[in-house]
Structure formats: structure tokens, C-alpha cells
Chains A and B, each alone.
Chain A
Amino acid sequence: AQKITQTQPGMFVQEKEAVTLDCTYDTSDQSYGLFWYKQPSSGEMIFLIYQGSYDEQNATEGRYSLNFQKARKSANLVISASQLGDSAMYFCAMRGAGGFKTIFGAGTRLFVKA
């Protein structure tokens, strides 16, 4: 069975600093995708970044990068130069090859301090 674990219920970061949000996963699939979503208090889930299981390089999208360590089954999200608008809930998620189901972690609430 697939599983996503986010062990940090809440995180604080000072504005302009970098922060790492942890995510570990478990799957028996060889091919899968890993995703991070941001959910502000308004409710919309915003897609941030994708990493494929066969991708050799870590994914980057602007200030977001994904630290992918396949052997450790971890897919940590790094946000550089945090901004007040980054305060939100962040979900790590996984989808197996050929499937529709996306498995979400419990989420990490990020607070950015001015």
C-alpha cells in the first residue's frame, strides 16, 4: 500500500530565510510521481512542483525545489527566501503509474514571521 508521511505538523520560518518541509513515502511501485501542493486559508490547492521516480535531477520551480532521495524514499520541499504569502498548509502527495488516485500526507502548516 502507498503511504505518505509528513512528520512536521507546524513549522515557523523567518521571512527571507529558507525552510525545508519533510516528506517520506512508501510504495512498491517502480514508477510513480511525487507532488507538493500549497493550500492557503482560502482553500484552493495550488500545485507547486513535481518529481518523477525516474528523474535523475531534483525538480525546481522558482523558489521551490524538491530534494529527492530515492533510496531513502524522501521528497522534501525546500522553499528559498520565504515570503509572508508562503504561510499556508503544504501537502506532499504521490500517484502511482497508471492510476487516478493521489495519496496525500497529513500536511505541514507553515508560518512565515515578519
Chain B
Amino acid sequence: DTEVTQTPKHLVMGMTNKKSLKCEQHMGHRAMYWYKQKAKKPPELMFVYSYEKLSINESVPSRFSPECPNSSLLNLHLHALQPEDSALYLCASSQGRGGRSEQYFGPGTRLTVT
């Protein structure tokens, strides 16, 4: 099973709202990722968790707050977002780090900030 699930599939939120994106994998992967993807662009890395600890934060604004409650779950908490934050948010997981460790992606959450 190479499935990564993400909920919700679509999300519309106002700039004062608080919402969360959820990601889950059951492949036993120890690294999990959040990416942001704008239309017709490649994904941009936001955060990486390794063994449930934050390893990489790509200078993401604090209105995005990641959380890794356990090795299978990854959340992205959203607060006071801006319209330019509207994008496809992809979660991914991999066995570990390094060149051989391919990432498996979820279907994404399409976020619209109004």
C-alpha cells in the first residue's frame, strides 16, 4: 500500500479563520513533508518531519503551523492566511532521507483564501 491520504480535498476559508489540513500514511515511513504548489509551478517545500521531529522549516510564515502527533499523522494548522496563500497543499512521505528514498504524495488539499 503506497497511499497517502489528505483531508479535506477542498477548503475555502476567510482570512480570520483557523483551519487544519490533515495527512496520514501507513507505510511505516519516518519522514513526512508539506509542500505548497501554485498553478503551473513545481511544488515548493515547506516543512519536513523526521521521526516526528521538525527537521526543516523553509522560512515559512508563522501563520502556517505544522504538527506531527505520531509517525503516521501530519497536520498543518492555518491561521490568519492571506489570499496569496491560496494553492494546492501536498503532503508526502518517504522511508527516510537520501537519494534512494522516493516520496509518495497525497492527493492534495486545494485551499482558497477569501
- Interface residues of chain A, those whose CB is within 8 Å of chain B, are 31-33, 35, 37, 42-47, 50, 52-53, 91, 95-102, 104-107
Contact = CB atoms under 8 A, between A and B. Distances in A.
Interface of B: 2, 31, 33, 40-43, 45, 48, 50, 55-56, 88, 90, 92, 94, 97-108, 110
Nearest to A89: B40
A67 to B, nearest CB: 18
A33 B110 contact: no
A50 B102 CA distance: 8
24 contacts: A33-B98, A33-B102, A35-B102, A35-B103, A42-B107, A43-B110, A44-B106, A44-B108, A45-B43, A45-B103, A50-B102, A53-B99, A91-B43, A95-B101, A97-B98, A97-B99, A98-B97, A98-B98, A99-B98, A100-B31, A100-B48, A100-B50, A100-B56, A107-B41
